[in-house]
Structure 1
């Protein structure tokens, strides 16, 4: 696992508008190698976001990414992994519910491609929710397309809106496709909530066949909560529409006898 140029660029942008006050957590001990073919773009990204630094300022001798995250203002970053083979400071199996001592502890969780390697994805997502503090942010970058054979799964933006937004009542701040190659013809594609249109997202001809991240940023709030279940947006829209239609009579009353307004009867 490693933070490549396009994820570096996203983290630089994030650093200009979010500074965690408390603990930060990196899933897996990510490495930060400079990609030689994109070396000029690192300084361009820093300059664009008003950061007076060079790419080499963020490197550390063992090649890992704690220095990068710390110097960008994300604090002293702790690392979580299944084992300590790479020196992780917090040991936890994301297939399982986190222990109480980890709940509501982190202001920032960075998932730079870990959840795609976890078999029990629902439990992993629930665990990330539990570990985030209200006001905390989860930054995730996992495979959307082109990562065949890399992990157990590739993900869809529908998951972001269905689980994090509607089921958990978190704020979705960003949800986009990011090609691994910054010069890819398709570029970044921002995804809106399919529930707004009631129609599934159409990704054909919007994202390329090459390796592409599903990158998203969510914020847990005081009103966020874990759901009993999650429903895909277009099905939920149809089921709710059918249920509402079934309650409407030609005489403008619901089955319970409640009088509808003129606007209600038409909607």
Structure 2
């Protein structure tokens, strides 16, 4: 302390105005850097939201902390005012009898149960969600409402016999040693995936997969201006909300130049 006074006191005594100006300049510099930091955080949040909207990704993916979600979780989530869209998902791996896979074994088909109305509603509102899973039709699209209808991607459709209108699959049943054979009507097309994949209405999926009332996850879109991480902290502990799996790396690549420029400014 004595050394500091010994060094600074002559400057205070001889040129007090210059010392005051130097202190003010340092304070303004720190304030500017902090302001840039706050601006950077807010801008990156909105940039991430816009990028997710363009790519059809949810703001958060909601899963159960233990076990599976249930239909009542979806209903509770939709009652939260910050939630714009909540799209439930249920998945299973099915065996396609008579078809051989890449290594000579049986061919498996990934089946995804979705709520087509949630996806169509999100697209209509200008914030598409999972457009690669939204069924596309040549006609009126009423096939989306038909029960036990599966919509296939190109890899699965290529395996169908010419003119086939139905698809027989074998699906494991929880708690039962023997799988269940199911017959599905072939509906529209989806753009997702290189491996065989099909989507169907989630109510049909719950019945066919032997998982009535169960959900694997819920994809959530939040109202504009809602910070996803802050909102996630308000959820009950039985829920676990995380960003989409590849969100961090993709956002880092998209914003690298922006972050470098703001870092230099700070």
Give TM class, smaller chain: under 0.3
Superposition TM-score, scaled by structure 2 size: 0.23
Higher helix proportion (structure 1 or 2): 2
Superposition TM-score, scaled by structure 1 size: 0.23
Tell me which structure has the larger Cα radius of gyration.
Answer: 2
Higher strand proportion (structure 1 or 2): 2
Greater RCO, CA 8 A, separation 6+: 2
